[in-house]
Amino acid sequence: MSEAGIDPMRDYYARRAGEYERVYYKPERQTQLRAIEAWLPSQFAARRVLEVACGTGWWIPHGARGCASWLATDLNPETIAIAQSKPLPASVHFAIVDAYTLDGLGPEIFDAAFAGFWWSHVPLSRLHPWLRTLHARLESGARVVMLDNRFVAGSSTPISRRDVDGNTYQIRALDDGSTHEVLKNFPGRDAVFAAIGPRARGAQWIEYPHYWVLSYLLA
């Protein structure tokens, strides 16, 4: 497990940075990923996009096609370094930012936001505060898109435990021999729609065998 005093999630993703994108090469997921990648640019055409927890930047080359600007943020320099190494549009910029506070962005406001595979790592007790923080950075009419995993037995890492708040966890092993307990929730449509709040308008839910996709406008 991670050492005491170290943020477990930050430590895990820093260590995993070099091997993270293997998950995108699972054979049973290829058709679904291509469909999401093809759909994503239409959501952000000509918009100023804030990406939360960009990780290694898998989605940036797809989502940023045609946008006005794309600010990809993450807390880990290790993952941002991999994202920056990709061939990207000139509209893409990066910043080391805590997803929960979004401190360090200055006064900038955006008209779109994207988070891929972040929702599932947010503890249930922090979900509403995080969404309020994100929405506060967005102007009226902003497009918000999020995507994440569905749990599929035999493809997903098994759930190791559930805590008193209802959060679920997985035990994951890395190439360096370390093991990490990772919070990973798998919400359904109703739970997601209830969480996004009354400012969300025209919410669209797209469900694939291994993924869910959420898109809405902010009132």
Give the CATH number, domain containing residue 157.
Answer: 3.40.50.150
CA distances from 190 to 152, 156, 195, 196, 214 (A): 19, 21, 9, 10, 12
Residue 77 lies in a domain: yes
Residue 83 phi, psi dihedral angles, 5° rounding: -60, -40
* Domain boundaries, position 190: 8-218
pLDDT at 2 over 60: no
99-132: pLDDT as tens digits: 999 998 989 999 999 999 999 999 999 999 999 9
Residue 23 lies in a domain: yes
Residue 102 lies in a domain: yes
Asked if 172 contacts 180 with a C-beta cutoff of 8 angstroms, the reply is yes
19-62: pLDDT as tens digits: 999 999 999 999 999 999 999 999 999 999 999 999 999 999 99
Residue 185 lies in a domain: yes
Q: What is the pTM of this model?
A: 0.95
Per the structure, how many domains does the chain have?
1
Residue 3 lies in a domain: no
Residue 2 lies in a domain: no
Residue 49 lies in a domain: yes
